[in-house]
Chains A and B, each alone.
Chain A
Amino acid sequence: MLKIIYLLITGLILILSIVDLFKEKNWRNQLTHLIVLIPLILRVLLIK
């Protein structure tokens, strides 16, 4: 059960990060989303 809650939180943060990426205007700030998105994608897919 805890694992499902954890996955839901991770998925929510991933969605919020993607929304933020599309709202951001500054290209440098957009680029920093990369280091947030990669581990989140890997964790949501239960790879790492």
Chain B
Amino acid sequence: MKNSKIRAIVILFFSVFLAAVAGRDFLRMRQPEPIYPGQGISEKKMLSDYFSPLRGTNGDTEVYFFEGENPGATVLILGGTHPNEPAGFITAICLIERAQVQAGRLIVIPRANNSAFSHNDPQEANPQRFFIPTPHGMRWFRFGSRNTNPIDQWPDPEVYRHFPSGQKLSGGETRNLNRSYPGKPDGSLTEKVAFAIMELLRKEKVDLAFDLHEASLEYPVINAIVAHNRRRNIFAVSPIANGAIN
């Protein structure tokens, strides 16, 4: 009797110890990787500047502005809508660190779904971080999840009904930013992030927006280009489309 109680205490302490060891690794995912803004940056804002309820949440994220000397169009680049597709995220970071805008405005959001960077998907064997050697040393980046962290938005419904189309999707898609546009000001965290990005598009009078993605690791897609029917002519001449076709 007494032995079983002592064992229970030991097991309880051991559980807390193992939870602390595992928790340390999970918490490490919340540490953002460093971004070194280049000289072309004219201003840095937060997404919550366009929709204040996001302030203080894990959905708030950085927005970088580049202002050209000459007038021109305003372009928005979104990286990190799906943090398990790092090409889009890395492209956005390359622009933040290297871009020099001569005409018009460039707006870059490197971590569109900031919450989804703070965890990764179980049973996928994805690393928490990946590393890229540079002339200035090794850089690290998080390999996040396709969806918002369930710590920030839970529980998922059995069926997710997209607003405003009413399209029925699987419950987990309720945390997918790319299934949440145009978002809702009183919706889930993911819908609020989508709404804030739409507010940015409206307030900054964005002419053209690119949402950068990549095939997931085991998903054999080389190129997939999605553009609105009404803007196919603009997209056809864009460098991204030409690069993808060539």
Residues of A near any B CB (own CB < 8 A): 2-3, 6, 18, 21-22, 24-25, 27, 30-31, 33-34, 37-38, 41-42, 45-48
Per-residue CB contact flags for chain B residues 19-33 toward chain A (1 = under 8 Å, else 0) read 100110011000000
Q: What A residues does B154 contact at CB under 8 A?
A: 2-3, 6
In the assembled complex, B57 has its CB within 8 A of some CB on chain A: no
Assuming the A-B contacts A22-B5, A34-B11, A38-B19, are A6 and B26 also in contact, with contact meaning beta carbons closer than 8 angstroms in the complex? no
The 7 closest A-B pairs by CB, nearest first: A37-B15, A41-B19, A47-B23, A22-B8, A48-B26, A21-B8, A38-B19
* B12: contacting residue among A25, A37, A42, A45, CB under 8 A: A37
Assuming the A-B contacts A18-B12, A41-B15, A48-B119, are A30 and B4 also in contact, with contact meaning beta carbons closer than 8 angstroms in the complex? yes
A11, chain B: closest CB distance, angstroms: 14
Contact indicator A30/B26 (Cβ below 8 Å)? no
Residues of B near any A CB (own CB < 8 A): 1, 4-5, 7-8, 11-12, 14-16, 18-19, 22-23, 26-27, 119, 151, 154-155
Q: What A residues does B4 contact at CB under 8 A?
A: 22, 24-25, 27, 30
Closest to B23 in A: A47
Contact indicator B11/A21 (Cβ below 8 Å)? yes
Contact indicator B22/A34 (Cβ below 8 Å)? no
Assuming the A-B contacts A18-B12, A42-B26, A48-B151, are A37 and B19 also in contact, with contact meaning beta carbons closer than 8 angstroms in the complex? yes
Q: What B residues does A30 contact at CB under 8 A?
A: 4, 7-8, 11
* B155: contacting residue among A6, A18, A38, A46, CB under 8 A: A6
